[in-house]
Amino acid sequence: MKLFEYQVKDLFKNAGIIVPKSQLIHRVDQASEAFAQIGFPCVIKSQVLSGGRGKAGLIQFVKNEGKGMEEVTRLFALPQKISSLLIEEAVDIAHEVYASFTIDPISGSALSIVSATGGVDIETLAIEQPHKILQTKIDMNLGLQAYQANHIAYECGFDPEIAKKFTQLLVKLYRLFVQYDCELLEINPLFITKSNELVAGDGKCSIDDNSMFRHEDISVPLGDIENEAERLAAEEGIPFIQFDGDISLMCAGAGLTTTVYDLVHYEGGTIANYLEFGGPHYKKAMKAMEICLKVPSKVILIVTFGTIARADVMAQGIVEAIGKLKPDRPIVTCIRGTNEVEAVETLRKAGLNPLFDTEEAVRLAVALAKETKI
C-alpha cells in the first residue's frame, strides 16, 4: 500500500527525521489560515499517489497569498479531484540527496540506495549514471550497522558535520523501514540546507500488503479515491486498473490476466480495465462484475484457468452476478481448471456460450467490441 506524502512525513517526524513545517488542507477556505501559519514563500503540494507531480503541475511554488489562493483554487478544481493539499514552507536548499531502503530479492537482504545526486528519478540515474548510486546490502538479521551508515556518508563526499547527521538519519530511516514492513521507503529529495540541516523534502512509502495486518494504525483513506470502480476494488483488495479502451477484463490469476491484456492488444483491441479476481478473491465474481460494470466498456471478457480457484465456483458466481446485475453488454467466458466440466454446464444452463480457448475468446471479444456501439 502506497502512502500519501503527508502520511510519510508524519512517520518521518515521529522518527526524528526533520521535515519542513507544513499544514494539510482539504478545502479552499482552509488555505488562508495555512498560509498565515506557514508564511511565504511556500510550496503547495497536491496529495496524490501517482508519480511525476512536478511535471504535471501539481506542485506549485508561490510567493504571496494572491498567487497562493489562485493555485489552491485551481488545484482543488482539477478534474482528477485532489482531496488534499500540503502547504509547506520553502526550504533554503544548498544540495539535494537521494536515500532509500528496499529489498534485494537475490541475496535476501535489505538494500540501502544512496546517491549524492538527489532530486532526480533514481531509475533514470541507474541507467545513465550508475556509478553515482551507492548500493549497500544489509543483513536483516543484524540490521543496518553504524559503520555501514558512516561509510556510505563519507563515500557521498560529505564533510564530517553533515556525514554525522546523515549517518544518524540513515539509521532512523532503516528503523522505520523495518518497523513498517516497507517494500520501499524513500527520501527524495533529501535537502541539505544552507545551515547544514538535513530535511526530508519528499517521502515515498510503500508498505507490503501482506504485512498490513501488523499495521492497523495505518490506512489510506478510501474516501479519497474518487473513481467509484477504483474505490470498490480497493475496498475488496481486488487488483484493478482503469484504462480508456473497449474491453473490460475480469480474469483470474495475475500472470494470465496480464497475458490476456497482451493478447487483446495483439488482436487490435483496447482495454477498458484490468481486473484480477483469482487467488483469495475467486469467490467474488459478483463484486468483480459490479466493478467492471462501473467502467465504460463494450464487452466483458472473463478468462480463468484456476487450480485452487475452482472453475465451478467461479462459473456459479458469474451466473449469479449476471442474474442480479443484468449486465447491459455482452460477456465472453473462457473458464477452465479444477471442475471445469461442471463450470461449462453451469454457464450453458444460464444461456452463455462458454469458450475453451483463450485466443478464441480474445478474438471474439475484440470482434464484439468493434460491432457494439455505445
Partner 1 sequence: MSIFIDRNTRVLVQGITGSEGSFWTKHMIDLGTQVICGVTPAKEGQTIHDIPVYHSVERALRNHEVDASMIFVPPKLTKDAVFEALANGIKKIVTMADGIPLFDMVAIRHAALEHDALVIGGNTSGVISPEEAMMGSFPYWIQRVYKRGNIGVMTRSGSLTNEVTAMIVKRGYGVSTLIGVGGDPVPATRFAEMLPYYQQDEQTEAVVIIGELGGTMEEEVAEAMEKGVFTKPLVAFLGGRTAPKGQKMGHAGAIITGGKGAVEDKIEALTKAGALVADRPSNVGILLEQLNVPKK
Binding site for partner 1 (CB under 8 A): 51, 102-111, 113, 123-124, 126-127, 130, 133, 139-141, 178, 181, 183-184, 208-211, 213-214, 239, 241, 252-259, 261-263, 265-266, 274, 278-280, 304-309, 336-338, 340, 358-359
117 or 150, CB closer to partner 1? 117
Task: Give least dist CB 46 to partner 1, A.
Answer: 18
Is 356:334 a contact under the CB 8 Å cutoff?
Answer: yes
Compute the distance between CA of residue 53 and CA of residue 55 in angstroms, rounded to an integer: 6
**How would you classify the pairing of strands 22-25 and 109-115?**
unpaired
Task: Give least dist CB 234 to partner 1, A.
Answer: 13
Is 48:3 a contact under the CB 8 Å cutoff?
Answer: no
Task: Give least dist CB 279 to partner 1, A.
Answer: 5
The C-alpha cell that represents 146 in the structure block: 553504524
Q: Tell me the CA distances in angstroms from 163 to 168, 170, 203, 336, one per residue in order.
A: 9, 10, 21, 59
Number of continuous H segments (helices) and E segments (strands) in the chain: 12, 15
* Placement of cell 484457468 in the chain: 305
Compute the distance between CA of residue 185 and CA of residue 192 in angstroms, rounded to an integer: 19
Task: Give least dist CB 278 to partner 1, A.
Answer: 6
39 or 255, CB closer to partner 1? 255
Task: Give least dist CB 340 to partner 1, A.
Answer: 7
91 or 302, CB closer to partner 1? 302
Q: Treating both helix axes as pointing N-terminal to C-terminal, what angle do 228-236 and 285-294 enclose, rounded to 10 degrees?
A: 160
150 or 258, CB closer to partner 1? 258
End-to-end CA distance of the chain: 35
Residue 220: closest CA among 209, 287, 228: 209
Task: Give least dist CB 305 to partner 1, A.
Answer: 4
Largest separation between any pair of C-alpha atoms in the chain = 77
Task: Give least dist CB 224 to partner 1, A.
Answer: 18
43 or 251, CB closer to partner 1? 251
93 or 122, CB closer to partner 1? 122
Three-state SS at 268? coil
252 or 321, CB closer to partner 1? 252
Compute the distance between CA of residue 358 and CA of residue 336 in angstroms, rounded to an integer: 10
Three-state SS at 76? helix
140 or 367, CB closer to partner 1? 140
Reported in sequence order, the residue ranges of 150-263 that DSSP labels E, i.e. its strands, are 182-193, 198-200, 203-207, 240-242, 247-249
Q: Tell me the CA distances in angstroms from 187 to 22, 31, 71, 372, one per residue in order.
A: 17, 26, 26, 48
Task: Give least dist CB 22 to partner 1, A.
Answer: 26
151 or 336, CB closer to partner 1? 336
Compute the distance between CA of residue 316 and CA of residue 298 in angstroms, rounded to an integer: 23
Task: Give least dist CB 181 to partner 1, A.
Answer: 6
